[in-house]
Structure 1
């Protein structure tokens, strides 16, 4: 698997604080936006997996706005995997980085989200979501870089 960094335990690997840079491109209009911020993966209060909280600033067409989202990363059916859920508990996608790369799909109304996750090394990973449907034609490319400091996630 040249070019990818295999991850034995996805939850332990993600635990901690990550710098986030995202470029959002609307392929139909040519418009482009940018998100800059942080993502913190911390142990869930109920002890099941991690809470992913992302916050920062999203700039679209010259207008900057605060933006945030929360996801849950729960232990998956096999070692090294997890299930990603929205904050309200609805399923989002599975995640298996044991070979350093994963492709996920998520249908959302008439749109289809296809995400590719790649781990570049122990401190950098990337997601690229392609969103297609009757009203959307987007690419969201996000780079994550581990920030220094102690991990705040799961205990091994």
Structure 2
């Protein structure tokens, strides 16, 4: 992605259903996997969004069902969100007002560094680089809005 598409309100932008394609590269072992599925951002009572992702993850040729749930909650800054795990623990912040955002999340001894970019009203991408003693991964996820 070369240019970024500014998003004045991330929660309004994300609301709805998205097709998801993710590649997972293990740089240490030179292995890779792929996830394909959907993500739905549905309304929560507090004005936030419930993120439900489900699909199939293929690792070393073996397909498995996969899913995750996150909470996207309104943050103090207008148009931005605080992303939390399903149990309420903090994950990361998200501000797409410029169309691009970088963030980080420590997980035990590993560090997740994320970059979020928006191409247009119907396409965005995340790239997470995970490094530490337990992991050496790059996860690239492309989202396309379901009409």
Q: Could you say which TM-score interval applies, normalised by the shorter chain?
A: over 0.9
- What do residues 69-89 of structure 1 show as CA deviations (whole Å, max 9, x unaligned)? 000000011111100000000
Match of 1:146 in 2: 145
Give the distance between the partners of 1:136 and 1:66, measured in 2 at CA.
Answer: 22
Q: Distance in 2 between matches of 1:136 and 1:78?
A: 33
Match of 2:20 in 1: 20
Instruction: Could you tell me which runs of 5 or more consecutive residues in structure 1 were left unpaired when the two chains were aligned.
Output: 149-156
Q: What CA distance in whole angstroms lies between the structure 2 residues aligned with 1:47 and 1:95?
A: 17
Q: 1:76-115 to 2 correspondence within 5 Å?
A: 76-115=75-114
Distance 1:85 1:77 in 2: 15
The number of equivalent residue pairs is 146
Q: How does 1:6-155 map to 2 (within 5 A)?
A: 6-44=6-44, 46-148=45-147
What 5-or-longer segments of structure 2 have no aligned partner? none
Cα distance in 1 for residues equivalent to 2:98 and 2:109: 31
Give secondary structure in 2 for the equivalent of 1:11: helix
Residues 105-156 of structure 1: per-residue CA shift (max 9 Å, x gap): 00000000000000010000000000000010000000000001xxxxxxxx
TM-score w.r.t. structure 2 length? 0.98
Give the TM-score normalised by structure 1: 0.92
User: For the aligned residues, what is the CA RMSD?
Assistant: 0.8
